[in-house]
Structure 1
Amino acid sequence: TGSSMAPTCVHHQSNASTQAPSLANFSEATPTETSISTGQASFFTGGVPLLEDDNGVLVRPQHTCRNPVYECAFWFLRCSYISYNMEEWHTHCLSHFHGEEPPRSVRCPLCEWEYLGDDGKIAWDRRMDHIAYEHFQRGQTLKTSRPDFGLFHHLWNKRLIDDQDLKELKGGNHNLTREPRAFSVTGTGRRDRDRRRQPQRTQHIGDLRRQVAPVRT
């Protein structure tokens, strides 16, 4: 019957000594507790980083550990921002709300995690922490993320996206083909959105003429 083999080493029993072998003073007489035969070396080609000796303990070199890549949570709004700094990523993603409160009900686009709270900022922070620790720091990306219709509607309710944006997000590939109409990267978007929030009062030309006409005495 076959037996399972650990992916990193094969353990051989030895009765020569119960003490751990010294990595600094190795000789042919030193009992070897772990070894990899040449026939098994093919299992490790290209996939296992070399280990370094740290006072008799094998450790992975620091440079072999990849930093997680933090992708913008609003990639579906045509934002291509990425960062290796978690705090900067937090700040950037929060800026997409343009000062509006984030949703109080949030969910993860990569798993079944959900959270409902009384404070939108706290709920959003928990969502971001979950994605960072449970997904990004484990090497996952947003390429397989599912559409977050609740977030889409929240952005629409806050007038951060318009009707056409919402329609496009709810259909097709669930992402915009251009930047949201409600905001622009030039900084004039907030003024445009505020103008949409406050309906313009219309007056007839005759009314305007009466307002500026001189008063007769």
Structure 2
Amino acid sequence: MSISVGLVLVSHSDQIASGLAELAGQMAADVKVVPAGGLDDGSIGTSYEKIENAITSLRSEGLSVLVLTDLGSATMTVEAVLETLEDREVVFEDAPFLEGAIAAAVAAQQGDDVWAAAGAASGAAAIFIDKLDTTPAPESGSETTDGVFKREAVVADEAGLHARPAAQVAALAGQYDGEIFINDAEADSIMSIMALGIKQGETVVVSTKDPKCWAGVDKIADAIEAGLD
């Protein structure tokens, strides 16, 4: 799958930007995530030059660029940079910094363009605000009368379905042209999976109403039981 989007993470702190870039890289290994945090001497603040150089480096590789920021003055600096660049392939999205970066990185890993990645970033916070219906479907390993094919799986990973395990489930689900769910949350959305707070040893229900995705349900359920990380 071709990756067309890179991320620039702008924070007042070099450590925050670098740490978040590292975390995003764990979940989207093929996506280039460039931190642009702090001033040039390492102190707190935002650097016009750091931001510009990060964007330029990704554009020189033929990538569209999504820029995310942590606080207000970082946004002002980014907007000043973008006014100078005047590049349609560089997009700033006002989104939650941590959740947005993870959601955007995973979207880019799945082949989404910069606008879709920006949409994933902006919608990330809502996933944690909305309450998800996690009521399991009746009887594991069967097709129900309403056409739902499902399987139960016991989570093997020590971290539960968080971080890399959640990213790997999302990547598996993204291979299928149809909807797959884990406890009624979208299985191709890492943020939806992480919002469930599923721990090691818990039983989840992987399901679909699309016969084309039955194999995907089996593949994801097997992976969860075997361990993903």
TM-score, scaled relative to structure 2:
0.25
Q: Which of the pair is proportionally richer in helix?
A: 2
Larger Rg: 1
TM-score, scaled relative to structure 1:
0.26
Q: Which of the pair is proportionally richer in strand?
A: 2
